[in-house]
Each structure stands twice: as structure tokens, then as C-alpha cells.
Structure 1
Amino acid sequence: MPKSPRKRALTSPHDALFQWTFSQREHAIGLLKAALPPEVIAAVRWSTLRIEKGSFVDRALRSRHSDMVLSARMGAGRIYFYTIIEHQRDVEALMVFRMGLYMMRLWERLTRERPGLKMLPPIMPVLIHHSDTGWTAARAFQDIVAVEGPERAALLPHIPRFEVRLVDVSGGRAADLVEQALTALGKVVLWCLSVAGDDARLEREIGRIAAALDEVLQAPNGLAALEALLRYLVATHERLSVRKIGGILEKAAGPRAQEVVVTALDEIERRGERRGERRGRAQGRAQTLLDVLAARFGALPAEVSARILAADEATLVTWTARVLTAPTPEDVLGEDGQRASPARRPAARKRARRT
């Protein structure tokens, strides 16, 4: 049974729910069949679908986009499905450029892994988008290249040409999507993504997914799925209490959901209490470490204090063990086996002796 996205949900609830759901083959096949052209659907051998390892999104942009790569047999080779889900609520004008960049990185990795490759496998780019306005930017790469007039026709053969398959869940309805192909959980997840942060729409429109939600709860992994959905809704609707969100889901799914909802809510609240206890211990360790460092080295740089206050308990234990032997505050926080450069140490030692 798939586990709920506990750790990832703390930092990226959209990514966590999407990855947890569509990394399960049944739901991934439903999503792709709902989004792809009929000719591709007919040609793919869906029993061979697999999730590929790795991400190609720039680290600095992972708060805005996350990706998933899947592949399956088609003809004599494989086809790759490069899927991106956006976490932002606006339209990025050059998103199709970023998709092209990530696709090139995937092709680059494939050529490194197979040095004798003579032909590149096809990649189908799929963009999952939700915003207040719906998608308003270009879908085709050639449409973002600024060239007009009679010379455009002459230049087009020399410009990359591809178009993304767009799944626009803005406004609570999935555009460009054959919804009948989705699994019940796939429908519920895309709807939850579309209403993220909008409390009024969550309450007003949840009846739209009542039948799908009831089907989700009847599935063998219904409890895990419900817990994943609850965690996502709690993370993206912070003005609503956990119990309020549970009540909304229970009302939509009917009496059958009551026991499942109560069980999932109790588990979420218990884990929340345990996280609060761990957070309290970490804060205490962080303050102790700051006090010891200040006593030994004097006033600390703001970036050192910020790193300590943001660290988890295990990291703080490691840093505390270094306090008595490290020559500088930076050495205390250095990666295992690494220390500050020798050129900086004499001055740091002098500062330490003067305090």
C-alpha cells in the first residue's frame, strides 16, 4: 500500500500530492490517457509504463515547478512523458522554453547512459497548470521566438518546434483533458490542486467530486489516499481547521466516509503533536548552541544564527559536538569532513582570543 506523502508535504504540498498519486501506475496511466492524442494512446504498451528516476528542474525553481518522468514501450523503442506541475498561481510567459530546456536535459542524460545511441527517443511534454486566469501564454516553442515579417517563414525551419500538452485545471475544471480516462483519485487530486488556497471554492464546489471521492474511499488504499488528500488540503487551506476540512470531505462523501475521515484526522493530529514536540526540542538545542557559540566567539554573523535556527534536531546534535574543538563558528556549521579555508582561520582565532 502506498504511503502518504508525509515529509514532502511539509515543504511542497502540491509536489507531494501529485508525486504520491501519479507515481502509482494505475493513476499515471489514467492521467496520460486523459491528456495525450488518441494515436499515441493506441500505440503505447501501457503495461510497460514505469517511473524514471531524477528531476531536471533547476534547484532555484523547485518551489515553482516539479517534474515527473515516465516511460513506456512504443513500437520498437520507448517513449518518455515529461510531466511538470506548476506550484505558482500566475502564468509564466516562457514556460514552454523551460519545458524545452528540461527535455534537452533528459535527452542529454539518455545519450550519456547509452553511448551508442543513433536516434533519440520521443518525449511528450505535459504541463499541469492552475492559475486565477487559466493558461494565457504560448504552448508552442516557435511562438515565443520574436521574429515577424516575411523572414519568419525562412527562419522557422531553423527554430526548434514543439508544443506542450496542456492540462489546465484552473477554475475547478480540467481543460484539454478527457476526464473519463482519469481514475477516481486522479479526478479528486486535480480538483484539489485547482482549488488550493481558495476556501470558498473548496466548500462551494466539493460536491462536484462527491462521487469520485466516494469511489476513492472504497478502494483498498482508501485510508492512505484520504490521509494524503487531507494533508494537502490542511497545508493549502491554512485558515480552515483540520476538523473543518474533515467535515467538508465527510459531508461530500456521505456517511460511509465518517469512520475513515475520523481515523485519518486523528492520525494527522497525532503526527502534528509529535512534530510540535520535535520542533520544541530543536528550538531548545538551537538556542543552547547559539549561547555557547556567542560565549566562545562573541557576536555571531546573521547567516550563522539563521542556519542554526533553521536546522533540524539531528543536525544541531552534530554541530554541538564540534563546538569545543572548531576554530571558528563557520567550522562548527561546515559539512562533515570540511572546514573553513586556512586563510580565514588565523584571524578567526585572534578574534576568539580577544573575546
Structure 2
Amino acid sequence: MSKSPRRRALTSPHDALFKWTFSQREHAVGLLKAALPPSVVAAVRWGTLRVEQGSFVDRALRSRHGDLVLSARMGKGRVYFYTLVEQQREVEPLMVFRMGLYMMRLWEQLVRDQPEQKQLPPVVPVLIHHSDTGWTAARAFQDIVAGDAPERTALLPHIPHFELRLVDVSGGRAGDLVEQALTALGKVVLWCLSVAGDDARLEQEIGRMAAALDEVLRAPSGLAALEALLRYLWATHARYGVRKLGKILEKAAGPRAQEAIVTVLDEIERRGERRGRTQGLARGRAEGRAQTLLELLTARFGDVPAEVSARILAADEAALVSWTARVLTAPTPEDVLGDGDASTGAPTAPPRRPAARKRARRT
């Protein structure tokens, strides 16, 4: 059974949904069969497909890009599929260059892990793209390298050559994709990525997903899949509440889906209430300690300065415990707080004295 999507740390909602879905072999096989050339599909031994560890996206770009590395047996070795999902408003003209960087990082890791190998395994780049305009940039690396004929012809043997396999889901249609190869969940996930943030399209096009949604919900992992979809739609359609999104899905999937949707919604809300109670208890303890500390300060020093009171009321429980321990020995209210970090209560290190200079030896 697939794991619940809530167990995966979220880099971004797009990355989380994509990885949760296509880290499962059944759905990953469907995606790759749908995206790759028939000659490659026929040569890969799909029963050997596995997810590889590691992410190669720049940290600063992880809110817009997410990657997943898969590999399978092909011929006498393994072929790697570097799959990148991106969600952004504009097409990045040098995206194929960025993909090249990520592929090099993957090869670097493979060589580091297997230093004895004499050849590099093939890496096929697959880009899942969504933007306002659809893909308008180069797909081949050699096409972004400047040069005019005849000089360019002379230089081509010295320029890296590779081409993206592009899955463009902009506008609600998965271009360059054999949709029949996708699983039902794969179809729904790519569609969700394509309508992210567009409330009108979500409601207008949900009917196209009715049959796929029904199949998703009838699968053994249907509740986990439904939760992943609801959480993604909730994160990318902020104007709608989770109950409103549940109604939209229910309308598309039909009455048989109602019980599953209600079950998932109730579980999401129960977990939210539990988190709220836990956070409330912690804050309640902190507020109680803050009031106690203010009473102790008032009893010892009289009126507490406003800035000291504000820091105490905003502090966390750990800081309040530390400050309360000082209240009997500190000479002023400010000193109760002044020797520690207001956010943690940890004492600051005393300033280091300059090292004494050694007296010069007389000769």
C-alpha cells in the first residue's frame, strides 16, 4: 500500500504531489511510457524500474522546480531518467542548459558512488512543463549555443548534444504525451498540475477527469490518492476551502465517490484540530509562565517597563523558564532578560578578554 502523502516533507505542493505519485512504480512506468519515444519504450525492461536517491535542483529554485530520478535495465546496463517538474508563469529560455547542469550533477554522483566504472550510463531528460504560454524555448542543447554558418557547422562536433523529452501540460492538454499509457492517477495528477491556481479552469474542466477520478477512488490506495489530490488543490486554489474542493470532486466523480471524499475530508479536519489543540496547549503554558514572571517582577521591582513586558509576552516557553530562574538574583528587570537570547533564553557567551601580551624577554 502506498504511503500517506502527509509523511513526505513538502518542498512545494507541485513537487510533493509529483514525487508522491510517480515514486510509485505503476504510475512512474505509465508516465515514462507516455513521454518517451517508442523505440526507447520497447527496449526498457520496465519490471526493473526503481527510484534513485538524490535531488539536483538548486536550493533557490526548489519552490518552482522538483526532480525525480528513476532508472531501469536497458540492454546490458541501466538507463537513468532525470525527470523535472516545473510550475512557473514564464518560459525559461535557457531551461535546457539548466537541465544539462542537473544531468551533470547526476553523473557526478554516479561516478563518485562507482569510481571503478569506465563509462557513463545514459541519462534521458524529461521535463514536465506548465506556464501561461506553453513551451516556447529550445528543446535541444545545441540550439542555445550561439554561432552562424559555416562556423557553426565546424563547431557542432565540440558542442554537447541532447534533447529534452517535453511534457507540456499548459492549457490543460498534455502535449507530446501518449495519454493512453498513463494510469488513472497519473492523468489526474498531470491535469491538477495544469490547472494549478486557475479556479475557473478547475471547475470548467473537472468533468474531463470524471472517469479517471472514479478509477482512482476504486483502487486499493484510493483514499491516500484522494488525500494527496485534495491537499494539492487546497494549496494551489487558496480561495476555495477544502470542503468546497471536496464538493467539486464529488460532482465530477459521482455519488459513489461521496463516502470516500467525506472520509478523507473528516480525517484532514481531525488532524488539523489535533494540531490546533497541541499548539494551543503549548501557547497556553507559555502565557501562564509569562503572567507568573510578570507578577514576580512586579512584586520585586514594582512597575515593569513596557518593553520588558512586551518581550516576555512574546517569548516562547523555553525563554520564560530561563528568565524565571534569574528573577531572584538579577538587579533590574532588564537584567532578567538582558543576559540571554530573547527567543531561546540561552545565556550569551561572555565577551572574550584579549589575550595578554607576553612581556618581551630582555636580552
| Cα shift readout 1:205-252 (whole Å, capped 9, x = no counterpart) | 001111111111111111111111111111111101211111111111
Which residue matches 2:209?
Answer: 209
**Alignment partner of 2:57: what SS?**
coil
Mapped to 1, the partners of 2:286 and 2:140 lie a distance apart of 50
Aligned to 2:193: 193
* Other-structure match for 2:341: 329
CA contact 1:172–1:191 (8 Å) conserved in 2 = yes
What is the identity, as a one-letter code, of the residue corresponding to 2:82?
A: Y
Change (3 A) 1:207 1:331: closer
Structure whose CA Rg is larger = 2
Deviation string, structure 1 residues 279-336 (Cα, Å, up to 9, x no partner) = 44566688899999xx9xx989xxxxxxx99xxxxxx6777777779965399599xx
The within-5 A match list for 1:162-177 is: 162-177=162-177
SS in 2 for 1:96: helix
Cα offsets for 1:152-201 (capped at 9, x unmatched): 11122111111111111111110010000000000000001100111111
TM-score, normalised to structure 1's length?
A: 0.82
Match of 1:81, SS? strand
* Distance verdict in 2 for CA 1:267–1:331, change over 3 Å: closer
Alignment correspondent of 2:6: 6
- Whether the 8 Å CA contact 1:246–1:261 is kept in 2: the answer is yes
> Taking every aligned residue pair, what percent have the same amino acid on both sides?
73
Q: Evaluate the alpha carbon distance shift between residue 225 and residue 235 of structure 1 in structure 2; reply closer, same or farther with a 3 A threshold.
A: same
1:24 equivalent in alignment to 2:24? yes
The separation in 2 between residues aligned to 1:2 and 1:196, in whole angstroms, is 24
Please show how residues 1-355 of structure 1 align to structure 2 within 5 Å: 1-6=1-6, 8=8, 12-280=12-280, 329=341, 332=344, 345-346=350-351
CA change 1:237–1:76 in 2 (3 A) is same
Query: Contact 1:23/1:51 (CA < 8 Å) preserved in 2?
Result: yes
Aligned residue for 1:56, secondary structure, equals coil
Higher share of residues assigned helix: 1
SS in 1 for 2:82: strand
Q: What's the CA shift string for 1:128-169, capped at 9, x where partnerless?
A: 111111111111111122223421111221111111111111
8 A contact 1:44–1:74 mirrored in 2: yes
Partner AA of 1:256 in structure 2: R
Residues 145, 328 of structure 1: CA spacing in aligned structure 2 closer, same or farther, 3 A cutoff?
Answer: farther
CA distance in 2, matches of 1:290, 1:89: 46
Report if the CA contact (8 A) 1:138-1:144 is conserved. yes
**Contact in 2 for aligned 1:127/1:164 (Cα 8 Å):** yes
What is the CA RMSD across the aligned residues, in angstroms?
3.1
Which moves more between the two structures, 190-199 or 7-16? 7-16
Q: CA deviation at 1:101?
A: 0.5
Aligned in 2, Cα 1:189/1:317: closer, same or farther, shift over 3 Å?
Answer: farther
What secondary structure is seen at the aligned counterpart in 2 of 1:84? strand
Which segment is superposed worse, 10-19 or 283-292? 283-292
The answer (yes or no) to whether the contact 2:87–2:131 under 8 Å persists in 1 is: no
Matched positions, count: 325
Structure 2 residue aligned with 1:305: none
Query: 1:246/1:141 Cα in 2 relative to 1: closer, same or farther (>3 Å)?
Result: same
Q: What TM-score, normalized to structure 2?
A: 0.80
Q: Tell me how far apart the structure 2 counterparts of residues 226 and 57 of structure 1 sit (CA, whole Å).
A: 28
Query: Offset of 1:88 from its aligned partner?
Result: 2.1
TM-fit CA distance, 1:61: 1.3
Which runs of no fewer than 5 residues in structure 1 stay unpaired? 301-307, 310-315, 349-355
Is the alpha carbon distance of 1:135 and 1:330 closer, same or farther for their aligned partners in structure 2, counting shifts above 3 Å?
farther
Query: In the alignment, which residue of structure 2 is the partner of 1:304?
Result: none
Tell me what 1:352 maps to.
none
In 2, the alpha carbon distance for the partners of 1:132 and 1:221 equals 33
Q: How far did residue 10 of structure 1 move?
A: 5.7
Aligned 8 A contact 2:289 2:321 in 1 = no
Question: What CA distance in whole angstroms lies between the structure 2 residues aligned with 1:117 and 1:322?
Answer: 57
Q: What is the distance in 2 between the residues matched to 1:263 and 1:288? A: 37
SS of aligned partner of 1:3: coil
**Deviation by residue 1:63-96 (Cα, 9 ceiling, x = unmatched):** 1111110000111100000001113232112211
CA distance in 2, matches of 1:102, 1:290: 50
The aligned counterpart of 1:313 is: none
The residue type equivalent to 1:346 in the other structure is P
Evaluate the alpha carbon distance shift between residue 317 and residue 28 of structure 1 in structure 2; reply closer, same or farther with a 3 A threshold. Answer: farther
Kindly indicate whether the alpha-carbon contact (under 8 Å) linking 1:9 and 1:232 is maintained by their aligned counterparts in 2: no
